[in-house]
Structure 1
């Protein structure tokens, strides 16, 4: 069994910290990145919130056709300065968080396995994981009322990814 490097393309909303997983591949080409951009743009059309900007780095895979996908949706593409990872700190923070909380603890065997693990983790990240910058609420809970606590103090635990991630809720 040989080791292979896999690449992940994701988008993150700055205000809500909601992550959108675009895909994983062993060979990220400009055509693949552009196709993933089309799929994300199509998905984002169904959301009530509109986006004004896309911040991206200067990787050569992000071609004019990639930028054109978002420009056609009225989204302005902003490139980060050269060699300035802090200019896209929210995305860099998500990468570090995903590695520390999930990927560093698992042996990923192939692309399908990585996609499965990341989909489960992104679902947890968006719907259950508290974010300090959001007042310890998950991105999915922004704008909604806090859940009413039942009189029971019993908690229900759901283990995800074989117990690597735990999600808690009040028992009914």
Structure 2
């Protein structure tokens, strides 16, 4: 009777401490009660199952606790590289470095060494005295017997940008200078017979408005002078005119330009005439790449229609999402725009 009870108890203990337990600690404790042969056989079975999984699952998903357990267990055996199957040894070393960085980052942060009252005082000083810097606030705190470093003061100062400054940034400065500046450029288009045509464009930089667009097969000096004459009727021209070093800008063109000051872009620097270059890119991407051109008349009609769309309907980021023809109109407030959209 006693022998049967011991056998039953032994079976129950084996069942309670079975190796298939999903809890790592329980599995380790159960291994302490098993023989060396059982462990070797179990390792062989687990290794064979891992080989099967490796053939089916290329990238197993591991959680952060899984990574921590693998790093922790690898420190207790010299054969940890041979024991890894679902990850590479370099991956385990990388996890260890990341865990080390996380540990020291949390340890270095720690708790603040200054009181909440001092932090509130720094923020109040910075808010009430917007012209004070971190060093000035630090000096005022020293008068009160509070010793803190400049870096500590900077950490707790508000990060809000100062408003009401009389200065202007570079973007505003360049936009102000764009008034009275025109630019011109050429682009090449091929028709269905692979004939080459030139599209000449004149743009006002401030508003991005296309002043003049014409097509030709032979851009001679006289032809270009005529285009400038048509773009500036009754003497209405810009103060500065940006162009490249194309040889066709010759005597006739210069005679028509008269008092207009020409600004030549450097060699091989298309970004120096970025406004026209962007228009040429838009003309190709949005129009010419989708149309088969027949001849110069067809090309002129297409270029004119696209120029009308570009000036009247196409919004431009460079002018705050406005159209060139409506550049000087007062923009609607966001609230009014939302109401119009709701209607």
- Structure-1 residue corresponding to 2:299: 114
Kindly state the Cα deviation for residue 21 of structure 1 after the two structures are TM-superposed.
2.8
- Structure-2 residue corresponding to 1:132: 317
More deviation in 116-125 or 60-69?
60-69
In structure 2, what is the Cα distance between the partners aligned to 1:152 and 1:85? 40
Q: Confirm or deny: 8 A CA contact 2:213 2:303 kept in the other structure.
A: no
Q: Which of 10, 20, 25 is the aligned partner of 2:211? A: 20
Indicate the RMSD between aligned Cα atoms, in angstroms.
Answer: 2.2
- Structure-1 residue corresponding to 2:241: 54
The 5 A counterparts of 1:82-93 are 82-93=267-278
- Structure-2 residue corresponding to 1:165: none
- Structure-2 residue corresponding to 1:2: 193
Q: Does 1:70 align with 2:70?
A: no
Kindly state the Cα deviation for residue 44 of structure 1 after the two structures are TM-superposed.
6.8
SS of 2:314's partner is coil
Q: Confirm or deny: 8 A CA contact 1:53 1:76 kept in the other structure.
A: yes
Higher relative contact order (CA 8 A, sep 6+): 1
Kindly state the Cα deviation for residue 78 of structure 1 after the two structures are TM-superposed.
1.0
Q: Confirm or deny: 8 A CA contact 2:221 2:251 kept in the other structure.
A: no
Q: Confirm or deny: 8 A CA contact 2:213 2:304 kept in the other structure.
A: no
Kindly state the Cα deviation for residue 43 of structure 1 after the two structures are TM-superposed.
6.8
Deviations 1:2-39, CA, capped at 9 Å, x for gaps: 32110011101111000123310111111111111111
**What are the ranges of 5 or more consecutive residues in structure 1 without an aligned counterpart?**
155-172
In structure 2, what is the Cα distance between the partners aligned to 1:38 and 1:91? 19
Deviations 1:141-160, CA, capped at 9 Å, x for gaps: 11113478786868xxxxxx
More deviation in 77-86 or 103-112?
77-86
Q: As a proportion of its length, which structure holds more helix? A: 2
Q: As a proportion of its length, which structure holds more strand? A: 1
Q: Confirm or deny: 8 A CA contact 1:21 1:119 kept in the other structure.
A: no
**What are the ranges of 5 or more consecutive residues in structure 2 without an aligned counterpart?**
1-191
Q: Does 1:33 align with 2:224?
A: yes
In structure 2, what is the Cα distance between the partners aligned to 1:28 and 1:123? 23
In structure 1, what is the Cα distance between the partners aligned to 2:210 and 2:255? 22
In structure 1, what is the Cα distance between the partners aligned to 2:295 and 2:241? 30
Residue correspondences, number: 148
More deviation in 25-34 or 119-128?
25-34
Q: Confirm or deny: 8 A CA contact 1:41 1:69 kept in the other structure.
A: no
SS of 1:3's partner is coil
